[in-house]
Amino acid sequence: MDGKCVYIAALLFVHCLTSALADTADQSALFTLNSGNNGVITLDISGMSLTGSIPSSLSNMSKLQELALDLNSLEGSIPREIGDLRFLTLLNVQPNQLTGSVPNEIGNLRRLEVFGIHDSRISESSIRRIQVPRFFDKMQKSIKNLYQRESLNGILPASIGNLTSLVIFDAITCKISGYIPEEIGNLSKLVDLSLSDNDLTGFMPKTAEGLQNHERLYFDSNKISGSLPDNICNLQNLGDLNLTGSQISGPVPSCIGNITSLRNLYLGSNNFSSSLPSSLWALKDLLRFDASSNMLLGRVPPEIGNLKAEILIDLSKNNFSGIMLLL
């Protein structure tokens, strides 16, 4: 059977199962799987209001490549038998009501590229929450997209640098604390790093200069203090930078105007002081600039009128003086 036939068979199989739900209140019927289903390569049963637990019999679908169980109300833990699905490239269980920890067998999925577990309770066991180093040690180098929205409760370990295929790392509201490890510089393919709403106290290390593919950096709502390091200016492909709601102080680095790829720059609700660097007004493709609720001083120069593409400029709640004239 060629690839197209296998894909069609998968769709027909899922269609038959989902149609059966209309005639039965027993949603567990959806998971009555056996060796006769082992040609299925895609199983997408997201958004079907399913309850109950994920059955270990899913491992019978030995050729499965994509498993989407998101947007349901599944309970229990991820069965360790999932680790037998050696062809799996996508595993999405977000959001559900799953508990327990990520099973060690997840580390057997050497082809896994997308792992979505945010908005579940995966990180919580009956006694305590899973610790960050254990979580990342289970991940394979093949991982490209990693989404986590529940507590990891610890620091980012050096082992994150082993995920060298990582393109997207989304860990919002995970109670991650401390500093970003230097090994983050190993993630040369990283495009999107979202660490919003955590307890980070340190910014990107000097090794992050190697992240030349980086386009989006979200560090808003953390506890980062001190001045913004100049090495941020080495991310020459950066399009979005969000540092809102931290405790960053000192001047806005003048070199930030050298990041000509910037489209959205959010610096609001910090402790930035001094005047805004004139280099900012050379960012002619900047769409949104928010520096509100800081301690910025001086005059707003007429060169702000060079930002022709702007759809938002918010400089409110600062200590600017004089009259702004736009040329």
In terms of C-beta density within 10 A (0-12 exposed, 13-18 middle, 19 or more buried), how is residue 325 classed? exposed
Q: What is the largest CA-CA distance in the chain?
A: 77
Q: CB of 41 within 8 A of CB of 12?
A: no
> What's the CATH fold of domain 224-327?
3.80.10
Distance in Å from the first CA to the final CA of the chain: 68
Q: Residue 244: which of 198, 312, 290, 175 has the closest Cα?
A: 290
3-class DSSP state of 241: strand
pTM for the structure as a whole: 0.67
Q: Residue 149: which of 113, 174, 130, 169 has the closest Cα?
A: 174
In this predicted structure, what is the pLDDT of residue 283? Answer: 93
Q: Is the pLDDT of residue 276 over 50?
A: yes
pLDDT in tens, 4-58: 333 333 443 444 344 444 343 344 444 444 445 567 888 888 888 888 888 888 8
**C-alpha span between 249 and 238 (Å, rounded):** 21
Residues forming a β-bridge with 68: 44, 92
pLDDT in tens, 139-186: 555 566 565 555 566 788 888 888 888 888 888 887 888 888 899 888
Q: CB of 283 within 8 A of CB of 305?
A: no
**C-alpha span between 169 and 160 (Å, rounded):** 10
Phi, psi of 154 (to 5 degrees): 170, -165
**C-alpha span between 83 and 86 (Å, rounded):** 7
Is the Cα dihedral 26, 28, 31, 33 positive or negative?
negative
**C-alpha span between 149 and 324 (Å, rounded):** 43
Give me the residue spans of the domains in the chain: 224-327
